[in-house]
Structure 1
Amino acid sequence: MAYVEKRGKNKWRLNVVIGYTPEGKAIPKRKTVEAKNKTEAKQKLSEFEVEVLGGNYFEPAKITLEEFYHHHWLDKYANDPDSLSHDTRRDYIQVMETRVLPKYGHMKLADIKTIHILDYLSDLKKPNGVRLDGKPGPLSSSRISNCFKAFKNVLQRAVDWKFIKENPADAVDRPKAKSEKTDVYSEEEIDYIFNRLNNYSFIWQVLIPLAFVTGAREGELAALEEKHINLEKPSIYIEQTIVEVKGEGVVVNDSTKTERTRYISIPKFMAILLKKLIHIRKQEKFQAGSQWEWGDHLFLFGNEVGKPIRPDSISQWWRRFTQKQNIKHIRFHSLRHSSATHLINKGVHAKVIQERLGHTKMDTTMSIYAHVIEEADQKSAAHFNSFFEDKTVGGNSKI
């Protein structure tokens, strides 16, 4: 059953009954349209009826973006540990609450169009005034890309859960994260750093070289336990991370950033250092007795009662260390880049480096280290010179 109702000048409400309640009350789908007269309204009614009965009609949601974010996306998606990694969840929430909701949160989901996504990206690309830390300059291409992914992810959940028919961000190409040259330490600088560590506690004498040798992230290093160390076949097993959750403190997340576990071979000198550290940690656990806070866990980089080190405290210590020792300061995370750069320059295959770093795709490794690989490739060309020395070209000219 379908019928039209006049709602005002050139305004008509289309009604298509899709069923009845147990009490016999009609259940209609409605849509208000503009039409010059009843004949034109009936034509639109016929089209609307076909759309509804064919299952192709999508009723626009009246819920706002902010309401959907707080009452649906956060509760049903973001807070589900199987949906997003801890770091991605934290990043998406930060982007939504500082960049998206203040400008678009009041809008109804159905009213957000592709032009709004384009405006959002345009604002992110401004040369100044967009950094949350107040510093001058633009956002990096990777940051812009992540901000786009956060907004698109929320809208996609709205599509999946039938709040809106289409994702307005689908029509926009994701900004590409350009490969930017990352500052790294040279071999001489790494050697100097290792020497300066002799003045610090043994934990740091192990943690810093291990970060360089393995390329592991702060959270992965903080989560290392005795069970993850293979001293017979020197290697470590990365399977978990330490994260700090607001309101809960330090917790163990039983997955890595990319949800990939991996074995990383280490040199013998590193295995010797780890063996000594494990012995020290076992003694500390014995002395702590009932005061030991983490049960059967034996974190390599923890305090005297077993609590693991916070990932952010590693970076804080690193800044103080480099400043005090008059060492060029780059982010602690850049020890990971220094590790990869060192291996590339030594001719290690990119696939091996990908596995050591835990990248899900080779493209990620190639993109991040594109400039290093290109420089190494240029240097490698010199290895072919010996084939052409004292040779002639065309029978007369020497190369």
Structure 2
Amino acid sequence: MAHVEKRGRNSWRLVVTIGYDEKGVPIRERETVQAKNKTEAEKLLTIFESSILTGKYVKPEKITLNRLFQIWDENITDGDLSPRTKQEYINIYKKRIKPLHGHMKLPDIMPIHILNFVNGLKKDGARLDGKEGPLSASSINNCYKAYNSLLKFAKKMKWISHNPAEDIKPSTPEQVETEIYEPEDLIKLTNYLSNLEFRWEVLVAISLTSSARQGEIAAIEEKHVDLDRGGIHINQALIVKKGVGVVLKETKTKNKRFLSLPVAVMDMIKKLIHIRTQEVFSIGNKRVWKDHLFLFGDVFGKPIRPDSISQWWGRFMERDEFNELGLKRIRFHDLRHSSLTYLSTRGIRPKAVQKRAGHTRIGTTFDIYGHTLIEEDKEAASHFDELFNKPAK
């Protein structure tokens, strides 16, 4: 028998009855945790009860970082971290954190341990790929975030009263200068698209005109295409999950959006849907993913892997005909940046650019495309000069 008791604001006691003594008095294990509401507290109660019933329960003061990692791994879901981020944190823990601190008990981990961990990543020889030099600022930041994620979970479970990682802040990663295509480059590329295999022509055209992410483009289905409104709905993405393969992930509500597309691109999509429908009909019961009709799936209906798009783009840039275009080599993801930069230099309002990009915060839009928006803002301000430069009557 288990239940929760409210102790104070955001504080709950988890109570699990594990048996009775010789006098019939219940023997209980208790633990105080932090939770926003009863529903969240009951979720933590389930974890607590399960650990007791399976014999995995350890008194908080005896929990090691290795044990914390196991519990974190079992209970952190897609709603807490994206599968990709979680897998990255798992790899960081196993390769970097565990060898140093895995044996340590939670109460013994101090801010100095986190500081030494971060500083160690800044030294020559910290890389695991055999290359010289320290890790990049962004890699160091990711290692810190992995460690912090574990300790935040421990604090939430009330196994520690304070997260020592909160006292240490790694260096802010430097903004990497993004390579983009200028308007004249985009014209060269769009003029060449018809020379590509049709599905790749459509895929690149969608990338350039929708500014959608790679995984979002790979996940577009027939049902997401709105021919009447002239655009596509972005409400899911394809990701590659280790040990599972390609899986669909629903886009967070705040990032779902409708993207209007040029008439020419919508005509391409309409033609591609017809081709895909014919392929599905011809394949019959050999079809997989039967409840989905992906625009960029294979003849059997299997969706394209998001990372294969970048791989194809890399091969495309190796072709002689690409070199003849006189275009610089950029990442496929930078087509998205090129698209959004193009819009921001065409006087499109920052809020509209934010919506198209699928950014939760407009600050993110300004961080990435602010330099172009600032130039537009300066140009706008220059129009007021005429008010002040006219001779007085």
Q: TM-score, normalised by structure 2?
A: 0.78
CA 1:241–1:167 in 2, change beyond 3 Å: closer, same or farther? same
For 2:374, give the aligned amino acid: E
Greater mean alpha carbon deviation, residues 117-126 or residues 353-362: 117-126
Cα distance in structure 2, aligned partners of 1:132 and 1:352 = 42
Shift of 1:131: 4.5
Shift of 1:270: 1.4
Shift of 1:233: 0.8
Q: CA RMSD in A?
A: 2.8
The runs of at least 4 aligned residues of structure 1 exceeding 6 Å deviation read: none
CA 1:136–1:347 in 2, change beyond 3 Å: closer, same or farther? farther
Cα distance in structure 1, aligned partners of 2:105 and 2:178 = 41
Cα deviation code 1:284-317 (max 9, x no counterpart): 1111111111112100011111100001100000
Aligned to 1:9: none
Aligned to 1:144: 140
Alpha carbons 2:140, 2:170 under 8 Å: kept:
no
Considering only CA atoms, is the larger Rg found in Structure 1 or Structure 2? Answer: 1
Aligned to 1:74: 73
Cα deviation code 1:263-298 (max 9, x no counterpart): 112121111111111111111111111111111210
Alpha carbons 1:180, 1:368 under 8 Å: kept:
no
Instruction: Give the one of 297, 304, 307 matched to 1:302.
Output: 297
Instruction: Write the mapping of 1:102-121 to structure 2, written as runs, cut at 5 A.
Output: 102-121=99-118
**Please, which runs of 5 or more residues in structure 2 have no aligned partner?**
1-19, 28-58
Shift of 1:180: 3.5
SS of equivalent to 1:242: strand
Cα distance in structure 2, aligned partners of 1:186 and 1:133 = 35
Alpha carbons 1:141, 1:177 under 8 Å: kept:
yes
Cα deviation code 1:127-167 (max 9, x no counterpart): x5444555556544444333322211111111112322211
Shift of 1:235: 1.6
Alpha carbons 1:229, 1:235 under 8 Å: kept:
yes
Aligned to 2:80: 83
Shift of 1:346: 0.9
Aligned to 1:317: 312
Greater mean alpha carbon deviation, residues 359-368 or residues 285-294: 359-368
Cα distance in structure 2, aligned partners of 1:372 and 1:131 = 35
Cα distance in structure 1, aligned partners of 2:138 and 2:375 = 22
Instruction: Write the mapping of 1:152-231 to structure 2, written as runs, cut at 5 A.
Output: 152-173=148-169, 175-231=171-227
Alpha carbons 2:235, 2:256 under 8 Å: kept:
yes
CA 1:134–1:320 in 2, change beyond 3 Å: closer, same or farther? farther
Cα distance in structure 2, aligned partners of 1:368 and 1:134 = 32
Aligned to 2:43: none
**Please, which runs of 5 or more residues in structure 1 have no aligned partner?**
1-20, 28-58
Shift of 1:248: 2.0
Q: Does 1:101 align with 2:98?
A: yes
SS of equivalent to 1:243: strand
Shift of 1:238: 0.9
Alpha carbons 1:285, 1:292 under 8 Å: kept:
yes
SS of equivalent to 2:255: coil
Shift of 1:76: 1.5
Instruction: Give the one of 282, 290, 293 matched to 2:288.
Output: 293
Q: Does 1:328 align with 2:328?
A: yes
Cα distance in structure 2, aligned partners of 1:312 and 1:320 = 13
Shift of 1:385: 5.2
SS of equivalent to 1:330: coil
Once the two structures are aligned, what percentage of the paired residues are identical?
45
Cα distance in structure 1, aligned partners of 2:224 and 2:196 = 25
Q: Does 1:264 align with 2:259?
A: yes
Alpha carbons 1:237, 1:262 under 8 Å: kept:
yes
Cα distance in structure 1, aligned partners of 2:128 and 2:349 = 38
SS of equivalent to 1:82: coil
SS of equivalent to 2:62: coil
Shift of 1:388: 6.0
Cα distance in structure 1, aligned partners of 2:353 and 2:249 = 24
Cα distance in structure 2, aligned partners of 1:125 and 1:378 = 39
For 1:251, give the aligned amino acid: V
Alpha carbons 2:218, 2:306 under 8 Å: kept:
yes
Greater mean alpha carbon deviation, residues 175-184 or residues 227-236: 175-184
Instruction: Write the mapping of 1:5-154 to structure 2, written as runs, cut at 5 A.
Output: 22-23=21-22, 61-70=61-70, 72-77=71-76, 80-126=77-123, 128-135=124-131, 139-154=135-150
Alpha carbons 1:291, 1:305 under 8 Å: kept:
yes
SS of equivalent to 2:180: coil
For 1:104, give the aligned amino acid: H
CA 1:124–1:342 in 2, change beyond 3 Å: closer, same or farther? farther
Alpha carbons 1:114, 1:171 under 8 Å: kept:
yes
Alpha carbons 2:288, 2:302 under 8 Å: kept:
yes
Q: Does 1:243 align with 2:253?
A: no
Greater mean alpha carbon deviation, residues 162-171 or residues 193-202: 193-202
Greater mean alpha carbon deviation, residues 277-286 or residues 367-376: 367-376
Cα distance in structure 1, aligned partners of 2:180 and 2:125 = 28
Cα distance in structure 2, aligned partners of 1:134 and 1:373 = 41
Shift of 1:368: 2.1
